[in-house]
């Protein structure tokens, strides 16, 4: 049991960490383009020189094959850091804003500035990627950063703690290891931004703690990401689509991913065809158990096995269902129409279990999706342009991907983030830079022209002129600047 003295000592050490970060930022060392570029190059060297150690850590924590680890984490991080290096000067440049002639002489611009000292809580399922991806954005934006990896991926957390300081500025970037108590201590301090990736339950605590200092928070929370599967007219399209579904479910950390497919909606008439191809492809893809990651720990294994042992759910199992508690392995499992009020259909699965829900016609899937909280992602496999338009127009989610799954995470040009209960705040690529920046409005005006319209004493002629000017957006913009509009 931790003693009060130990808690006090731990809190004091964390306080010193925060003070050092604040001092590094306030000295201005993080603001220059050269410093930011040096940090990004350091992360690239880390990923190159410590690749084998990173693979080993990810395998120990999650049983990830090194091909999956490179595809989903290391390779994406290299792409992200290189992209930030190439674009950083452009991102940092002030953006000129148009000023109407009536305000002349004047100039206006938006200047991105660092927020200050930021805190990043990463998650255990993509422990390297969800640590370094936001770190790349925070450093590109010129911040000092505290990174708190998940204690549920201890080998990756230790890898980061042992190596980060060797490749980036240790006075401005610090890795803090520990469990929930450490996270609570960290949230006692003032931060300029907090990014949390994890469960809604813990996110509520993070937001409550952040409110004491009015700290802005970004949350990436996941949810039940649906996959709408329309009938595929050709055998090749069907097989390619199934390949991508499997990659978006079982080949993404065994389904333990916030953007993994949670369930599939398909028409009754087409369900047998889809299930047949799913089963045959699963047998081909996962002949060797080591080609799929394992469940992170016994607690999550027991939770997932409990979903399958539910008496109301067990009859719906069509494929798989075998479990190996010793090795924390659950076979890829397909279920057909489990009860909609069962836990497997009301809570995020976060594992290798895939319910398939049938509907009379595929258009009914839109109402089904809308009856649930807004997901982080919606996937739809269809050639029907009208259905695609309806999905975009009539549903709400962090992202929509047609005819593939999960790949949107790798697109730096697309913002990554949720909406509603799946989170808020967006990052990746330039969006990461912007999430950790403040867009400061800067305006400078000369003295050559002065409008008396804005000043008392008031008379009806001024009111008449204002009424006239307010009809036109061009002049309304000027009057807003002059303080005549609220």
**Where in the sequence numbering do the catalytic residues fall?**
220, 258
Vertex 397, ends 220 and 359: CA angle to 5°? 125
Query: SS3 of 45, please?
Result: helix
CA distances (Å), origin 204, targets 67, 199, 423, 430 = 35, 9, 11, 27
Alpha helices in 101-232 (DSSP H): 129-140, 154-167, 180-186, 200-211
DSSP assignment of 336-349 equals ES--TTSHHHHS--
Length of the chain: 486
Residue partners of 373: CB distance under 8 A and separation at least 6: 223, 224, 420, 421, 422
CA distance 306 to 303: 5
Comparing C-alpha atoms, which of 353, 384, 395 is closest to residue 263? 353
Tell me which DSSP letter residue 197 carries. E
Rg (CA), the chain: 26
Any idea which residue has 């980060």 for tokens?
A: 164
DSSP assignment of 69-137 equals HIIIIIHHHHHHHHHHHHHHHHHHSPEEE---GGG-SEEEEEEEEE--EEEEE--SSSTTHHHHHHHHH
Query: SS3 of 440, please?
Result: strand
């Amino acid at each position: 049991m931790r003693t009060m003295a130990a808690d006090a000592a731990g809190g004091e050490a964390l306080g010193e960490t925060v003070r050092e970060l604040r001092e590094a930022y306030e000295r201005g060392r993080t603001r220059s383009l050269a410093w930011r570029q040096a940090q990004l190059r350091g992360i690239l060297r880390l990923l190159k020189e410590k690749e084998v150690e990173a693979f080993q850590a990810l395998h120990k924590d999650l049983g990830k094959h090194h091909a999956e680890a490179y595809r989903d984490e290391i390779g994406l991080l290299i792409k992200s850091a290189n992209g930030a290096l190439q674009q950083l000067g452009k991102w940092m440049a002030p953006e000129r804003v148009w000023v109407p002639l009536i305000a002349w002489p004047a100039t206006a611009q938006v200047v991105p500035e660092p927020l200050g000292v930021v805190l990043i809580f990463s998650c255990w399922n993509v422990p390297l990627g969800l640590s370094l991806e936001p770190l790349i954005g925070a450093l590109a934006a010129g911040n000092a950063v505290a990174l708190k990896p998940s204690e549920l991926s201890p080998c990756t957390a230790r890898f980061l703690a042992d190596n980060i300081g060797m490749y980036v500025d240790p006075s401005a970037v610090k890795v803090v290891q520990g469990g929930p108590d450490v996270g609570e201590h960290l949230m006692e301090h003032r931060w300029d931004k907090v990014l949390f990736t994890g469960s809604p339950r813990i996110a509520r605590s993070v937001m409550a703690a952040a409110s004491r200092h009015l700290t802005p928070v970004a949350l990436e929370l996941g949810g039940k990401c649906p996959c709408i599967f329309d009938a595929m007219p050709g055998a090749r399209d069907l097989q390619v689509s199934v390949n991508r579904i499997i990659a978006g479910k079982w080949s993404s950390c065994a389904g333990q991913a916030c953007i993994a497919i949670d369930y599939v909606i398909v028409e009754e008439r087409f369900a047998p065809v889809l299930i047949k191809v799913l089963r045959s492809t699963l047998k081909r893809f996962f002949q060797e158990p080591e080609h799929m990651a394992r469940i992170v720990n016994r607690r999550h294994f027991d939770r997932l096995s409990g979903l399958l042992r539910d008496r109301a759910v067990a009859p719906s199992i069509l494929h798989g269902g075998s479990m190996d508690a010793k090795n924390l392995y659950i076979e890829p499992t397909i279920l057909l129409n489990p009860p909609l009020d069962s836990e497997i259909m009301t809570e995020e699965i976060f594992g290798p279990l895939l319910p398939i829900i049938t509907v009379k016609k595929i258009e009914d899937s839109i109402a089904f999706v809308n009856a649930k909280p807004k997901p982080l992602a919606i996937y739809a496999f269809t050639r029907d342009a009208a259905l695609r338009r309806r999905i975009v127009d009539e549903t709400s989610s962090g992202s929509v991907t047609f005819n593939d799954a999960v790949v949107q995470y790798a697109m730096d040009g697309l913002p990554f983030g949720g909406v509603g209960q799946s989170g808020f705040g967006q990052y990746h690529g330039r969006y990461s830079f912007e999430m950790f920046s403040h867009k400061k409005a800067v305006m400078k005006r000369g003295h050559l022209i002065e409008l008396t319209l804005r000043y008392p004493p008031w008379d009806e002629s001024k009111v008449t002129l204002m009424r006239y000017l307010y009809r036109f957006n061009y002049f309304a913009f000027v009057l807003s600047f002059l303080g005549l509009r609220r």
